[in-house]
Structure 1
Amino acid sequence: MIVQHFKYALEGHDFVIFTDHKSLTFAFRQISKKASPRRARQLEFISQYCTDIRHLAGAVNTVADSLSRVAAVRLEANEIDLIAEGQKTDAELLAQLQNQSEDGVGLKKLRLPDSGIELYCDVSGSRVRPFVPANCRQLVLTKLHALAHPGVFIKSELKVGVIYVKEDQYSEEQILENNENSIHFDEFLTLFGDRVRLRGFDKYKGGLDTVHDLTGLYSVYTNWRNIEIMFHVSTLLPYEKHDPQKLQRKRHIGNDIVCVVFLEADNTKFSPACIKSHFLHTFILVRVSARIKHKPTRYEVSVVTRDEVGAYKPYLWEQSVFEKGPMFREWLLTKIVNGERASYSAPKFARMQERTRSQMLEDLVMNLSNHAETGQIPKPYRRGSWRPIGEDEYIKMLHARVLRKVSDTQQTSPMDVVVDGKPYASFPHKLE
């Protein structure tokens, strides 16, 4: 079962299977006729990845099931802050502090090492256990659960659509016509991340132009848990008054997978069908009242996905109304990232992934075969694309690296430069 579960990480690698059941080490040496049909199928599957099974006594196997160990979980600094803030108002914790002698739980406030944060912890047992308030338990549970479910396709760069809807706006044209932000919408965008100037922006750009300002002047960007997210905000994308379809906005938002809909209305309902797109699979609707003012601002959240997308956490079973703050930001970004990843399993994207991987393997085999026959260096791949760059482009890239190194090292001759461990003079293409 463990080989099947982690096959995505084991494919193409040499590894050894350790087990505390010594009899399993003889599994591939026995006569196949003695095995039951079920065991034969299992051994056949395992043999596709590894046939080296070794015995390791359980008493000395100190790293067994490491992925399911609590010690493997590390909370970020902002998540610890959330727990500390949650403890201040948690009703269950306050009740236990008043009745410690009755239930036998020894709660004590402890200061975390190398930090000024203090948490209430249970010190009655052999291990110190922090008290997790009710509003943070889903976060901790997700951390633990996600260790054994890394997913089939993980990306560290995402682009997400954000559209602004006002009262009595029902069609795509009306929604994309919005060109000004309200105070509520500007406040909501600050939850996502930073407003950045696109020209000269050197991080993940999500398909936006960072040279000529062709896709607007500003956008919203964040780096959350080592995941770069660029938000395609409808009101920040180019606006052309004489284009009724607003194609400059539609071509970005319509090619995203997840779209956040900010609905500033009391009597208007949003229908995902009004945004025509083959790619959009998940809509996260955030409603705020245009008339009733709350301090802090309250957001009513609902989520809709296509039928082929499975359920994903965090769920809305216990809470659908949030107040502005770090907890809501954490919930929203988690929902966005998980919604994107859950959509990858939809048939449309699964077929695209399979086709892309098949093409990459074909190109890899072709390049290696060509290298074996002619000695030509295999062509490198562009980041984010399976297509190899052309030979002329590869030569230009190589020349640029050499000239840059000549400038950095103040060498007089490019032929003395070493590139990738080899002198440039040994390369088949020389500088003219």
Structure 2
Amino acid sequence: MSDLLRLATAGSVDDGKSTLVGRLLYDTKSVLADQIDAVTRASVDRGLSTPDLSLLVDGLRAEREQGITIDVAYRYFATPRRSFVLADTPGHVQYTRNTVSGASTAQLVILLVDARKGVIEQTRRHAAVMALLGVPRLVLAVNKIDLVDNPGEVFIQICTEFTALTTQLGWAPENVQEIPVSALHGDNIASPSDRTPYYSGPTLIEHLESVPVDAEPHNVGLRFPVQYVIRPRTAEHPDYRGYAGQIAAGEVRPGDEVLVLPAGIRSTIAKIDTMDGELDHAEAGRSVTLLLTDDIDISRGDVITSPGDAPEPISEFEATVCVLADKALRPGARLLLKHGTHTTQAIVGSLIERFNEQELRADPAPETLALNDIGRVQIRVASPIVADDYAINRHTGSFLLIDPASGNTLAAGLVGDVLSAVEIGERRNS
């Protein structure tokens, strides 16, 4: 079992995400005593009889004043069994782009539903976004369960509706866990609640501690985007030529045959260097310097791959994009595309379709894609990129579209046809 779990929260505004995250931090003793004292004083000033744990996480002044979450905030906590990195994402529809950002690397997402409201439009939107992003596991936290009559019946009704949605989106039942909780009172967060006799499953923390999480849901061979070429040119190392970067996928050992793309030149790994010395093996996520047996012209943005499953460099492709800026995406837009360590000029071709996340269908040929829209587009780049289909590997199948004039990120993209609402479930189960 992995000792680190990357997770995110999602849900509609006022569903209690900040309170839930504050409760997780509080119950795992991941906050300092002076922070608790400050929250207690602020809660008393507001006329509350108990600490408002949401104040532990709503860090921006605008968030505290409005009582909402605006930006993505990363929180770190741990239990004796596992460490966690949590992205606390906004609930407002206008911040869907932030939810996409926060969940893009998540191995599990906690999707909150207010027991009084049930599955609503934003619930369906977030579930669809998680499906498109390929998030492998979900937790449905039915919050504020203490505020409804007949909570057992309400919980079953919400779970039935949510199961129908997640099944349509492609999640297997064993990858979705439903838990009735009260973030305010701590029911079923760290310890079982006597107020939910109809529920016999794990608490939220028990589930987070025990859920199996693969380091990389879709395994591929070596993918090593070159970030920097090291040529010290010293008397001690007159011929040293190393290629520094972080392994995006797969693993590597000295003696492995590799293929350098997009040039298509084969070579062999001579040595794996790090600041702490040589390694005889390195895996995805490790930052290393690779030395090859051959003197090859390699520069930043090139990718060292395993030859057996190396992707074909592409100059024209279809992609699913989520618009992250107020500036709409239009056909013919000339932008910069950043994929891994490689940045190149790009032109947006036709806008093929816009995703309707409420009806789980695609609307063809939109004129533009506006802020928070998700759609499928054609893209042409000036120099080829070495990308896997996003459905195969999330790390090497994603990119950013950037406004060359301002430097602002306009959209996040996923290589390949991962949009089709009809085929989302088929794609996820294939």
TM-score tier by shorter-chain length is 0.3 to 0.5
So what's the TM-score if we normalise by structure 2? Answer: 0.33
Structure of greater relative contact order (alpha carbons < 8 Å, 6+ residues apart): 2
Structure with greater helix share of residues: 1
Choose 1 or 2 for highest CA Rg: 1
So what's the TM-score if we normalise by structure 1? Answer: 0.33
